Amino acid sequence: FGIDPVNMFGFWEWVGGRYSVDSAIGLAVMCAVGRERFGELLAGFRVIDEHFRSVPLERNVPVLLGLLGVWNTSVLGAQSRVVLPYANDLVRFPAYLQQLAMESNGKSVRVDGSAVSYRTGEIFWGEPGTNGQHAFFQLLHQGTHLVPADFIGFGRSTDDLPTVGGSGSMHEVLMANMFAQAKVLAFGKSAAELRAEGVPEGLVAHKVMPGDRPSTTVLAPVLSPSSLGQLIALYEHQVFVEGVVWGIDSFDQWGVELGKEQASVLAPVLGGVGEPESGDASTDNLIR
């Protein structure tokens, strides 16, 4: 491209895209937020990196979260995990974690080439908490699927607003909702409690909340470049821990690579060069 190597940023081939935001690939982010803010993001990453490297296992947060992920997936049989940031600026954070976790640990073969005999990988999904409350929280509370939840909240808002009456804080209302949802998932509401409140007998069974639904709450003082860096690094190391326990390689993505290879073969055919000969009738008929 005619770019002077002096003006190029190096990028090692062993850095996967899903782990690259704090590398030279983050140049676009630095241009958008400024060098100082990007430095704060990197400092946040380092806080968790050093914690993960030096803190004993029994107090090591990424290790504990990774073990919880393995327990929920391989022992309790949970098939997915919902991420609920109570901050609209993190609206795309669950999608970010989808690639990080699912591309890393969506594997069925161990490092030594043998097939795993247990469930691996977590299906990540989610929405900002208040959106989710009116969309899928019903399933979390009373559905037949076990879905561990991650609540992410902040002590202060970067753009707080007063309540309608003007005497309160909308951020406090937001946090009250987060704490309430986590409480109900954990402790539910029994038939005895409902009857004591005078709920008609015909409604009791419908209003019982079983509780005992696993969730984790992550709290930070405020959403900032530093806390975002810590949050991303927390999940990065957690994903790594899960991969180690499962005995899989969290740093390859052969399923993705095969799809790219097949696309390069089919693209000329779609452009009119030759007839479909993909080797399977279903693909050939779709192309025709």
Kindly name the residue from 134, 201, 261, 275 that is annotated as catalytic: 134
Write down the pTM of the prediction.
Answer: 0.91
- With tokens 């080439």, the residue in question is 113
Amino acid at 236: E
DSSP 8-state secondary structure symbol assigned to residue 92: T
Nearest to 51 by CA among 36, 65, 38, 30: 65
Kindly name the residue from 201, 206, 260, 275 that is annotated as catalytic: 260
Give the domain extent around 102: 5-250
Rounded mean pLDDT, 257-270? 86
Whole-angstrom distance, CA of residue 275 vs CA of residue 287:
9
On the question of pLDDT at 199 being above 80, the answer is: yes
Kindly name the residue from 103, 122, 127, 242 that is annotated as catalytic: 103
Alpha helices in the chain (DSSP H): 27-33, 35-54, 61-70, 93-98, 104-105, 129-133, 137-142, 170-187, 191-196, 201-207, 225-246, 254-270, 281-287
Count of domains for the chain: 1
CATH of the domain at 201: 3.40.50.10490
For residue 256, being part of any structural domain is answered with: no
Q: Quick one: pLDDT at residue 60?
A: 99
For residue 126, being part of any structural domain is answered with: yes
How does pLDDT run across 89-140, given as a tens digit for each residue?
999 999 999 999 999 999 999 999 999 999 999 999 999 998 999 999 999 9
260 is catalytic: yes
Task: Round the average pLDDT of the chain to a whole number and report it.
Answer: 93
**Is the CB of residue 151 less than 8 Å from the CB of residue 182?**
yes
On the question of pLDDT at 274 being above 80, the answer is: no
On the question of pLDDT at 37 being above 70, the answer is: yes
Q: Quick one: pLDDT at residue 278?
A: 60
For residue 270, being part of any structural domain is answered with: no
